[in-house]
Chain A
Amino acid sequence: MKLSGRGKPMYMWKYWRETRLVFGISLFIIALLFGHFLKSNFLNNNLASYPREAIAHLFDLPTFPFFQAAPIAFFSWIMGSFGVGGTFGEIGGSYLFSRPRGRGYFIWRDWGFGMAQLSLVILLLNLVFGFQIHHWIVSAEDRFHGSLVLLGRSVTLSTFVCLNTIAESLFAGLVFGLTYFSMIIVRSTRGIILGAGVLLGYVVLNIIIRSFWPSIHLPSLLLDVHQQFISSLPLATGHANVSFAVSAATRFVVLLLFPIAAQILLQQRDIA
């Protein structure tokens, strides 16, 4: 009997096959955006004569991640519908879960690969915007002295891009994990609606609470990295910002709760 090697990442190949269209579309949109910036910067050269004051207000930089939140949320929401939850909706779980692997095997590969794809898209998106911001800085005849001024502090462009990527990846992981978990709870494609409903419900609840009880603050879905990081940045020492690290780490732990809960739920439940 001819034997094949075992342990090959066939399951991740399946996940890749499911998600590659959405992933590819995301990369295509980013490529289009990059192309637009290139054309705008070097062919039209329209920023060379851009008024300096306008450049300063071109972007409200501290709220930059919030502008990207909607498309990232949508992308993450769609990505969360793949994997085990999607399989339940598609063919039930009998076939997949009669393969000789623990249920956690499938959950963590879905989650890990999905998060890697999301993080890559977000990194590329921020690099493209970083490229464009760099161009504005140069075009502004180094008005910012090679740095960005955010909330009254000087921050390098790479720090800015890095902070955005962290904040948006944590946000994407939240949407992705919640949708993924919802798909497993409902065990059908209706889980994607449940995931969106919970997110929208949280946003609405936040608005209501702010209106009626202004002193109560629910955590924002998107980590306000610039407020967290820059406003408490030690001017003299440059030591690491503890509150930012704690906030980011806390959010990362919350993200991990979704696949952990999904695994526990799946291990407790009968597979129909």
Chain B
Amino acid sequence: MNELAIETQSVHKHFGALCAVDGLDLRVPSGSIYGFLGRNGAGKTTTIRMLAGLARSTGGRLRVLDLDPRTDRVRLLERTGFVIDKALFPWMTGHELVYFNRGFFSRWSNTLVDKYINLFEIPMDRRFKKLSTGNQTKLCMLLALSQGAELLVLDEPTAGLDPVVTDQLLRVLVDDFANGGRTLFLSSHHLSEVERVCDWVGIIDRGKLLLEAKLDDVRANFRRIRVVGENLTLAAHVDVLSSKTEGNTTEYIVKSNSDGFAAHLRSQGATVLDVSPMNLREIFLEVVGKGEANVHVEILA
């Protein structure tokens, strides 16, 4: 079995002059819960469409479950559940959607359908278009979870959902799906949710992967360091993501080796005021907010 559920190498996608995905190198370990983060228009959905074989890459190599989405699309889709648009046939009821969907999948489970109908409390006799946004999303998830997939790829699964439904959905995805050793890949810009459930994160911006790492490593290594000092040199420390000076106080964001960096500053006579950990939201804003020129892909794990 391949150790990577998803692997892309130098993937590009152009829409005319627009470069939506620009040399993407993604490595999603099998069995992981991978949060694919980015702002609106960063290239998340385009990447997912390429993984599903719905869009062709302009260049590069993609593998999903060791299959090429361009040539092995049917076999790939048999083993992978994709929830992209959350738009199903509006005139079908929940039961009809189950009936329609199950014929496509050899590993379809009616037991799981019954389980999630009860758990999610979806009114299955109602037409899809008459369901609330939350129930529409839950129905999409029900269909994806019941197909017996080894890998679930979800595009913004919690968008537009209230906190209760979001919590319920995330619990099911983690407890029922991912804990069985299967891989969950979800794109989002709801960072608190990703931080809660994911063990790997990838941050994409303007089509480029800016960071890919285990979430624990990100948490352990990214630090905000505030110092007071003048004429400090940083030449030997490439792990500094950014710096910001206000008055005589400078704030550094470092990606790793914060202790070594603090010691380096002290050796130049600086006073280190504090070295504080950062949450995912802060890290995301630092990584994305500074522009691609200052940030490079970093594999921390």
Contacts and interface: CB of A to CB of B under 8 A. Distances in A.
Contacts of A108: none
Contacts of A100: 74-78, 104-105
B56 interface: yes
A3 B76 CA distance: 19
Given A94-B49, A94-B82, 10 more contacts: A4-B110, A6-B103, A8-B102, A14-B92, A87-B89, A91-B87, A93-B54, A94-B52, A101-B104, A270-B54
A14 B102 contact: no
A95 interface: yes
Contact of A91 (B49, B85, B103): B85
B111 interface: yes
B78 A270 contact: no
Contacts of B99: 10, 13
A1 B180 CA distance: 14
Contact of B88 (A8, A91, A97): A91
B107 A1 contact: yes
B84 interface: yes
Contact of A92 (B55, B73, B85, B102): B85
A95 B78 CA distance: 14
Contact of B87 (A9, A17, A95): A95
Interface string B81-124: 01011011111100010011111111111111000000000000
Contacts of A1: 107, 109, 111-112, 148
Interface in A179-236: none
Interface of B: 49, 52, 54-56, 73-78, 82, 84-85, 87-92, 96, 99-112, 148
B276 to A, nearest CB: 42
A99 B107 contact: no
Contacts of B102: 4, 8, 10
Interface string A36-54: 0000000000000000000
A101 B104 CA distance: 8
A2 B49 CA distance: 30
Nearest to B74: A100
Interface of A: 1-4, 6-11, 13-14, 17, 87, 90-95, 97-102, 270-271
Contacts of B109: 1-3
Contacts of A93: 54
Nearest to B15: A270
A270 B15 CA distance: 11
A102 B56 contact: no
Contacts of B100: 10-11, 13-14
7 contacts: A1-B109, A3-B108, A10-B103, A13-B99, A92-B85, A100-B77, A271-B54
B153 to A, nearest CB: 9
Contacts of A11: 100, 103
Given A3-B108, A270-B56, A271-B49, A94 B103 contact: no
Nearest to B89: A91
A8 B85 contact: no
A97 B55 CA distance: 11
A102 B74 contact: yes
Contact of B85 (A4, A17, A95, A99): A95
Nearest to B108: A4
A90 B90 contact: yes
Residue among A6, A7, A92, A94 having the largest count of chain B Cβ atoms under 10 Å: A94
A269 B40 CA distance: 24
Contacts of A91: 85, 87-90
B84 A94 contact: yes
B39 to A, nearest CB: 20
B71 to A, nearest CB: 12
A10 B97 CA distance: 10
Q: Which 10 A-B pairs have the closest CB atoms?
A: A10-B103, A100-B77, A270-B55, A8-B103, A91-B87, A271-B54, A100-B78, A94-B84, A98-B82, A94-B85
Contacts of A90: 89-90
A87 B88 CA distance: 10
Nearest to B56: A270
Nearest to B50: A270
B54 A2 contact: no
Contacts of A95: 84-85, 87-88
A93 B89 CA distance: 11
A6 B85 CA distance: 25
B55 A271 contact: yes
